[in-house]
Amino acid sequence: MVLEKGYLVLSTGDALEGKWLGASSSVEGEMVFNTAMTGYQEVMTDPSYAGQIVTMTYPLIGNYGINDIDFESGEPALSGLIISSPCYKPDHYQANSSIREIVDKFHIPTLYDIDTRALTRIIRENGEVYGKFSMSKEDKPKKAKVDAKIVDQVSVKKMIRLRTSSNQSHLTEFSKAHVVLVDFGYKHSIRHALMELGCDVTIVPYNTSVEVIKGLEPDGIVLSNGPGDPKDLDYLKHSIKKLTELYPTLGICLGHQLVAIAHGGETTRLPYGHRGSNHPVKDLTTGKVWITTQNHGYVVDMDSIDEQEWQISHINVNDRSVEGLMHREKPILTVQFHPEAHPGPIDTHLIFQDFFNRLVRKGEKQHA
Ligand SMILES: NC(=O)CC[C@H](N)C(=O)O
């Protein structure tokens, strides 16, 4: 028998009726919403959504299908998905499966025919909301927070060495740049962006020691995005600080928050997060505003930044929150938004170029 009706029950006491897209489920998670009009495949496979039930505010999901090239990880990590109107017959030259097939293949708990506008209002008004999928509207979510060890579930277990075939490297006179990507739940687009610039990339588990990383002889370090509350990784602050002292460093999203914490900064929770692909960010060094992709619920507290040591390089135009930091002396750059984009505009790819130029400068110095 196919069980059609399902409920999303919330910690606010609300219950929304929908239908199961695949199998029924009793999954729980933190409720978040993403406002991007396209990019559902990348959102579904971004490991930063682990532990969360993602509501797509754009009503029609699935119309251009699922392809082989836009996966941001091997397997979707999100706890659940909420859709208003799924499209079962995709129309796109790259599509090779439908949203329904992918939901079945990866067992993604999904409810559709949910009033996503009403749900988004509930999340916006209450901030921290937890949800549970259920067969009964009387049910209640039990979980109070995303698991403190969530990064452990998405980070690689073993080191992965990738060699670029790009000969675009400006380092060819010396050697290619070698970047160690510390994986807190990295998106594949980060690795692609680095390799396209001519970097060899070694992906290491998030808790790899400084000694092991030193042994890899990197030219620079990238600290990736990832799920959960950055404060749960407070115990890594000494090794992260050490890495930033030893190597040119780029921190992305969770990586940015962890660099701030490692240098004495604090993080707080945003009222309801920034998740979408049109968040305006001002680059304070040039005065330019970029349209950026974002996916975060926490933010670095501006007052906790030592401005003698750090320059606040980017701020969010909507709420003035910190979007980027730059060390005044050392080659350390961090951004709260996603320069790799996917989904969303690639305008801020130049952040990777900026990081890469710092590796080049270091290489030139060493070989001078
Ligand atoms: N995409 C990310 O890296 C998210 C960072 C962190 N989990 C947050 O929600 O703020």
Summarize pLDDT for 30-42 with one digit per residue, the tens.
999 999 999 999 9
Does 225 sit in the ligand 1 pocket, CB within 6 Å?
yes
| 149 contacts: CB under 8 Å, gap ≥ 6 | 232
What is the per-residue pLDDT for 219? 95
What is the per-residue pLDDT for 143? 73
The torsion angles phi and psi of 317, rounded to 5 degrees, stand at -70, -30
Catalytic positions, please?
253, 338, 340
End-to-end CA distance of the chain: 73
Cα dihedral value 3, 23, 56, 141, nearest 10: 80
Mean pLDDT by 10 residues, the chain (368 residues): 84 97 96 97 98 98 97 96 97 97 97 98 96 97 90 97 74 70 98 93 98 97 98 98 98 98 98 96 97 98 98 98 98 97 90 89 50
Binding residues for L-glutamine: 48, 226, 228, 254, 257, 295, 297-298
ipTM over 0.95: yes
What is the per-residue pLDDT for 166? 67
Does 65 sit in the ligand 1 pocket, CB within 6 Å?
no
What is the per-residue pLDDT for 359? 84
365 sits in which H/E element = helix 350-367
Binding residues: 48, 226, 228, 254, 257, 295, 297-298
Does 321 sit in the ligand 1 pocket, CB within 6 Å?
no
Q: Is the fold of 5-134 the same as that of 150-367?
A: no
Superfamily of 150-367 according to CATH: Class I glutamine amidotransferase (GATase) domain (3.40.50.880)
Give the Å distance between the CA of 259 and the centre of ligand 1.
Answer: 13
Q: Which CATH class is domain 5-134?
A: alpha beta
What is the per-residue pLDDT for 68? 95
Summarize pLDDT for 323-352 with one digit per residue, the tens.
999 999 999 999 999 999 999 888 899 999
What is the per-residue pLDDT for 165? 79
Quick one: DSSP state of residue 46? -
Instruction: Give one DSSP letter per residue of 172-183, joined into a string.
Output: TTT--EEEEEEE
For ligand 1, atom 5, name the residue with the nearest CA. 254
What is the per-residue pLDDT for 144? 74
Domain ranges of the chain: 5-134, 150-367
What is the per-residue pLDDT for 154? 98
Pocket test for ligand 1, best of 295, 299, 342 (most atoms within 8 A of CB): 295
